Amino acid sequence: MSRSGMVRVAIVLLSLLYGAVLLAGFLAPYDPAEQDREHPFAPPTRVHFIDAEGKLHGWPFIYGLTPSPDNFAEYQEDRSRTFSVRPFVPGDNYSLLGFSLRRHLFGIDEPGRIFLLGTDGYGRDQFSRLLWGGRISLLAGLIAAALSLVLGMVVGMVSGYFGGFTDDALMRLAELFLAMPWLYLLFAVRAFLPLHISPTVAFFLLVAVIGTVGWARPARLIRGVVLSARERKYVLAARGFGATDFYLLRRHILPQTMGVFLTQAALLIPQYILAEVTLSFLGLGVGEPVPSWGNMLGSLQQYHILASYWWMLAPALVLVPVFWGYHVLADFLHERLEFGQ
Amino acid sequence: MTNEPLIRVQGLRKTYVQQQPFSRGKFLVRALDGIDLAIRAGSSFALVGESGSGKSTLALCMARLEPPTEGKVWFDAQDLFSLTGPELMLVRRHIQLIFQDTAAALNPRFSAEEVIIEPLRIQSVGTRAEQRDRAVHLMEKVGLPSAWLSRRPHQFSGGQRQRLAIARALALQPRSLILDEAFTGLDLSIQAQMVALLQNLQSLEKLTYLFISHDLGLMAHVADEIAILHRGRIVEQGEPGRLFSNPCQPETRALLDAIPGRHSALSFGQS
Amino acid sequence: MAYLLRRLLHGVMVLVGVSVLSFLFVQLAPGEFFSDMRLNPQISPETIASLRAQYGLDRSLPVRYVNWVRSVAKGEWGYSFAYGLPVSQVIWSRARNTLLLTVTAALLAWLISIPLGTYAAERRNRWGDRVTVAGSAVLLTVPDLLLALALLIFAIRTNAFAAGGMASTQFADLGTFAKVKDVAAHFTLPVTALVLGTLPIFFRHVRASMIEALALPSISAARGHGIPRRRILFRYALPAAANPLISLFGFSIASLLSASLLVEVVMSWPGMGPMLLEAILARDLYVVIGAVMLSTLFLVAGNFIADVLLYLSDPRIRQGAV
């Protein structure tokens, strides 16, 4: 596949993923906190078109799920009843753009349950949780990256443009931040903040921590751009017309930093998504009952769950296309930065 | 017309500290070591010297883009370096600098129009419509088609970019232009065109020129008075005719010798 | 020589700076951090009192910092509330295990990526190159967490390698050789996870550096003289590529340390990772600072080793031209 073809695919893929998690309420058949104690660790429901008698149904359908008689941990399909997968079904309330809505993309009549990605230990639908959890993880990555980049931009521009003591001091500080292995640094900052906090506070705290800790590399890179942009003759000419520092920064220097800004964004966002996932996985991030891809993976620290219930890996697997998309974008932007200009 | 020079430089010194890359020592570089100049309004003055003689530093000081270590610069009887605020903005209009590297002097992301009206925007002169009209007017004045206003600098040739730079310099209706190696790197035929354009503009707009160059031969064509710069000092000064026929200093002689086909230059330079 | 001394001094200053920074992070903690400790049943009131006296727990930041520095000078590195021991005793065995893991992974990653990268650089844009580059791109998109979990599943399902921990339960009863074999068996999984995680990055850099090195005019001249391929690679190309590669080695320590933190926790390898996590959950302040300092120390040391290697290998640096 050609390079630009891959970039287009990457953009479409990422848009679909972000779109899907934003529409989580609509796409998910169940509320993420809803438990089904009778079906813990149920495997993904198989969707059929042809039933046991060989008849073709118009709509896809599923069978009921009953625990298997000999092994209580396993399930069997109960072929006595079929449930059609219905479109645009009313279900639990959710809010979208401030509106409270009830229609979901698809659903099943009671008492049938459709678990497209199985359930966890509490019988919660993993597919719904994947969508809702994606909001947390993907958005955390995005907002934290924006925070790092804005901080880095401000520091980089001030440092590079004004130079002198401020520049020295800021760059030495950056060096300290970069001298620590980043995950240790993240942990250190997280360590001293309150442990037992509500999921909402945890989300903002997480974003703040991940975002502020990562300002150093963007700052250094932006500073480099500013240093060379500052010396350009057209900047000198503008100064000759009486331009203020602010004008020069805004009109001439800032546009030059856009290339680095975008490339760094493509590199940082996946790293920060992973940071959220890692922290939540270890219990230091967003906690129950709010799902995030990280805390959904948390139960996998127990080996028997890890080995027996493969569908619980879904949050980790979905990271692969996310990473791929951002890597392709980063490569593309990096090349354009080096040679385009 | 008064006898008071438009631009006067008195005792200008510029030294800066340079760090030797391989050793611990720092040493002082005397870029300008006591410069005195007087340029009459409406005239063309040339500063000629080899690279490293301090030419560009002098240009920057006189355009108030670099502060001197010592000395003063007077523009129209005002002390350039003691001005601030709106007075400074006004005087800045009247001293415009044209650089050697045409590509570097114009922001590649700007359109030609944006390049020309930038000084107007910085000094908040005129409405958008007035600025646009002015851009058209200036393009034509420097001999470029106004249809090219939407093009980017890299779409112009070197000589055309220099015209664009001149158009930008004229935007605020300055009284003087400092041209720092403005012709270096251009083809001879283009150089001739530029000289013609500048001379034309000088009489139209009543401009005062300060040329800075290493090309003594070319300066003889354009300047009323030439000063030879060597190691931060003016070693000799005078009209082109006198310098060519009666050079006093060895540096002057060296520069004269560097002119290709010197004898032909002699016979042309008398007009 | 002066260059190396300067780098060493620089490293020391970085460590001091990081220690101050870490203490500043402690300032983030509202008063509740220390009251949390008082609620912790493991810490007796007498301990708290004596700790407060010795470390100035409730005192101002500079006092605490100075007390901590004194403790470092004594070799204790502070006091672990959870273990009731000086931090140095708690951390050291864990640090050894982490070093064992990271150094082995780093060496292996280099040992694999240098030949692989050279191979790809030589066959640039031909089949061999495309395959390896594609493979490395695939590995790059798999996050470390997934890699570790996947390897664990594989190990558990196939019973191929010992999964989890550093030694089996009968460890103490085994003979010396059997002990080594046991640790090695437990070792394989985390090392594999780390190597797979860093291999693609190293590979990319080696390949890029070798491509540049092979494009040098000196290489074409050597070829023109009929010098055999092997010799060209080892005596001409590799040394030319050495400078950026050694610098990369320094940078890679940082990412390896971070990756090892996660891998250790997931695979229960008793290194600094699980200890740090434990300490955070137990609010064991000085252990947290100790772990951060130690990991930074490893990083700075790694960079310094890279500086020494560069100094030895690049004559331009020796002459002070850099």
- The mean pLDDT value of chain B amounts to 85
Residue pLDDT, tens place only, B201-246: 998 888 999 999 888 888 888 888 999 888 888 888 888 888 888 8
Whether pLDDT at A136 is above 80:
yes
Q: Which two tokens stand for residue C248?
A: 């990369």
Whether pLDDT at A265 is above 90:
yes
Q: What is the pLDDT of residue A147?
A: 96
Q: List C-alpha distances in Å: B14 to B72, B84, B226.
A: 11, 21, 21
Neighbouring chains to A with at least 3 Cβ pairs closer than 8 Å: B, C
Whether pLDDT at B102 is above 70:
yes
Residue C297 lies in a domain: no
CA–CA separation, C168 and C161 (whole Å): 12
Contacts of C152 in chain A (CB under 8 A): 303, 306
Residue C300 lies in a domain: no
A30, amino acid identity: Y
Shortest alpha-carbon distance between residue C127 and chain A (Å): 16
Average pLDDT for residues A109-130, to the nearest whole number? 86
The single residue listed with the structure tokens 């330079």 is B269
A123, amino acid identity: G
Q: What is the pLDDT of residue B22?
A: 58
**Where residue C51 falls among pLDDT bands split at 50, 70, 90?**
low
Shortest alpha-carbon distance between residue C116 and chain A (Å): 22
Where is pLDDT greater, at C285 or C179?
C285
Bond prior to C239 in cis (omega within 30° of 0): no
Kindly determine whether residue A184 and residue C296, on different chains, have CB atoms separated by under 8 Å: yes
**Where residue C249 falls among pLDDT bands split at 50, 70, 90?**
confident
Where is pLDDT greater, at B255 or C292?
C292
Q: Which two tokens stand for residue B17?
A: 């500290």
Interface of B with A (CB under 8 A): 63-65, 88-89, 92-93, 95-97, 99, 101, 104-107, 109, 118-119, 122-123, 168, 172
- The mean pLDDT value of chain A amounts to 87
Q: Pairing relation of β-strands B176-180 and B95-98?
A: parallel
Kindly determine whether residue A176 and residue C149, on different chains, have CB atoms separated by under 8 Å: no
Contacts of A237 in chain B (CB under 8 A): 97, 99, 105, 168
Of A274, A300, A324, the CB nearest to C149: A300
Residue B92 lies in a domain: yes
Residue C99 lies in a domain: yes
Q: What is the pLDDT of residue C155?
A: 83
Residue B1 lies in a domain: no
Q: What is the pLDDT of residue B271?
A: 42
Whether pLDDT at A287 is above 80:
yes
Residues spanned by the domain of B121 = 7-258
Q: How many CB pairs under 8 A join A and C?
A: 130
Q: What is the pLDDT of residue C40?
A: 61
Do residues A46 and A116 touch, judged by C-beta distance below 8 A? no
Q: What is the pLDDT of residue B25?
A: 65
B156, amino acid identity: F
Do residues B29 and B15 touch, judged by C-beta distance below 8 A? yes
Average pLDDT for residues A321-329, to the nearest whole number? 93
Residue C177 lies in a domain: yes
Q: What is the pLDDT of residue C261?
A: 93
Residue C130 lies in a domain: yes
| Residues linked to residue A66 through DSSP beta bridges, in sequence order | A76
Residue C22 lies in a domain: no
Residue B25 lies in a domain: yes
**Where residue A161 falls among pLDDT bands split at 50, 70, 90?**
very high
Residue C36 lies in a domain: no
Kindly determine whether residue A181 and residue C156, on different chains, have CB atoms separated by under 8 Å: no
CA–CA separation, B8 and C225 (whole Å): 67
Instruction: Collect all residues with Cβ–Cβ distance below 8 Å to C217 and sequence separation of at least 6.
Output: none
Q: What is the pLDDT of residue B135?
A: 92
Q: Pairing relation of β-strands B225-230 and B44-49?
A: parallel
Whether pLDDT at C179 is above 70:
no
| Cα of C44 vs its chain's centroid, Å | 36
Contacts of A233 in chain B (CB under 8 A): 99, 101, 104-105
Residue of C nearest to A190 (CA): C280
* Best residue of A14, A172, A176, A186 to probe chain C, by most C CBs closer than 10 Å: A176
Average pLDDT for residues B144-172, to the nearest whole number? 91
For residue A86, what is the enclosing H or E element?
strand A86-96
Whether pLDDT at C19 is above 60:
yes
Least confident of A234-243, C29-38, C162-171: C29-38
Residue B271 lies in a domain: no
A188 CB within 8 Å of a chain C CB:
yes
Taking a contact as any Cβ pair under 8 Å apart, which residues of chain A between 165 and 184 contact chain C?
172, 175-177, 179-184
Average pLDDT for residues B20-25, to the nearest whole number? 62
Residue pLDDT, tens place only, B55-69: 888 888 888 888 888
Contacts of A243 in chain B (CB under 8 A): 122
**Where residue C178 falls among pLDDT bands split at 50, 70, 90?**
low
Dihedral (Cα; A265, A271, A272, A275), 10-degree rounding:
-170
Whether pLDDT at A132 is above 80:
yes
Of B99, B104, B123, the CB nearest to A241: B123
Do residues B234 and B58 touch, judged by C-beta distance below 8 A? no
Residue B269 lies in a domain: no
Q: What is the pLDDT of residue C36?
A: 60
Q: What is the pLDDT of residue A341?
A: 46
Least confident of A94-98, A283-287, C168-172, C250-254: C168-172
Do residues B96 and A218 touch, judged by C-beta distance below 8 A? no
Q: What is the pLDDT of residue C30?
A: 62
Q: How many CB pairs under 8 A join A and B?
A: 44
Residue B162 lies in a domain: yes
Q: What is the pLDDT of residue C41?
A: 66
For chain B, percent of residues with pLDDT exceeding 70: 92
Residue pLDDT, tens place only, B66-81: 888 888 898 888 888 8
Shortest alpha-carbon distance between residue A112 and chain C (Å): 31
Shortest alpha-carbon distance between residue A99 and chain B (Å): 44
Q: What is the pLDDT of residue C90?
A: 87
A327 CB within 8 Å of a chain C CB:
yes
Most confident of A274-278, B87-91, C18-22, C157-161: A274-278
Kindly determine whether residue B104 and residue A243, on different chains, have CB atoms separated by under 8 Å: no
Whether pLDDT at C112 is above 50:
yes
Helix, coil or strand: residue B62:
helix
A319 CB within 8 Å of a chain C CB:
yes
Q: What is the pLDDT of residue C171?
A: 64
**Number of domain units in chain C:** 1
Neighbouring chains to B with at least 3 Cβ pairs closer than 8 Å: A
Kindly determine whether residue A192 and residue C29, on different chains, have CB atoms separated by under 8 Å: yes
Q: What is the pLDDT of residue C115?
A: 87
Taking a contact as any Cβ pair under 8 Å apart, which residues of chain A between 192 and 251 contact chain C?
192-195
Residue B266 lies in a domain: no
Q: What is the CATH number of the domain that holds C196?
A: 1.10.3720.10
Q: What is the DSSP string of C210-245?
A: HHHHHTSHHHHHHHHTT--HHHIIIIIIHHHHHHHH
Q: What is the DSSP string of A45-78?
A: PPPEEE-TTSPEEEEEEEEEEEE-SS-TT-EEEE
Q: Which of A149, A158, A175 is nearest to A260 (CA)?
A: A149
**Where residue C31 falls among pLDDT bands split at 50, 70, 90?**
low
- The mean pLDDT value of chain C amounts to 82
Residues spanned by the domain of C168 = 94-281
* Best residue of C94, C139, C141 to probe chain A, by most A CBs closer than 10 Å: C141
Of A239, A241, A252, the CB nearest to B107: A252
CA–CA separation, C207 and C112 (whole Å): 12
**Number of domain units in chain B:** 1
Shortest alpha-carbon distance between residue B81 and chain A (Å): 13
CA–CA separation, C100 and C256 (whole Å): 12
Average pLDDT for residues B112-131, to the nearest whole number? 91
Where is pLDDT greater, at C51 or C250?
C250
Do residues C33 and A192 touch, judged by C-beta distance below 8 A? yes
**Where residue A51 falls among pLDDT bands split at 50, 70, 90?**
confident
Least confident of A41-55, A274-288, C62-76, C157-171: C157-171
Q: What is the CATH number of the domain that holds B154?
A: 3.40.50.300
Least confident of A61-75, B123-137, C278-292: A61-75
Q: What is the pTM of this model?
A: 0.85
Shortest alpha-carbon distance between residue B111 and chain A (Å): 13
Neighbouring chains to C with at least 3 Cβ pairs closer than 8 Å: A
Q: Pairing relation of β-strands A56-67 and A75-84?
A: antiparallel
**Where residue B1 falls among pLDDT bands split at 50, 70, 90?**
very low
Do residues C87 and C79 touch, judged by C-beta distance below 8 A? yes
CA–CA separation, A196 and C288 (whole Å): 18
Shortest alpha-carbon distance between residue C252 and chain A (Å): 10
Q: What is the pLDDT of residue A157?
A: 94
For chain A, percent of residues with pLDDT exceeding 70: 95
Contacts of C9 in chain A (CB under 8 A): none
Average pLDDT for residues A133-154, to the nearest whole number? 95
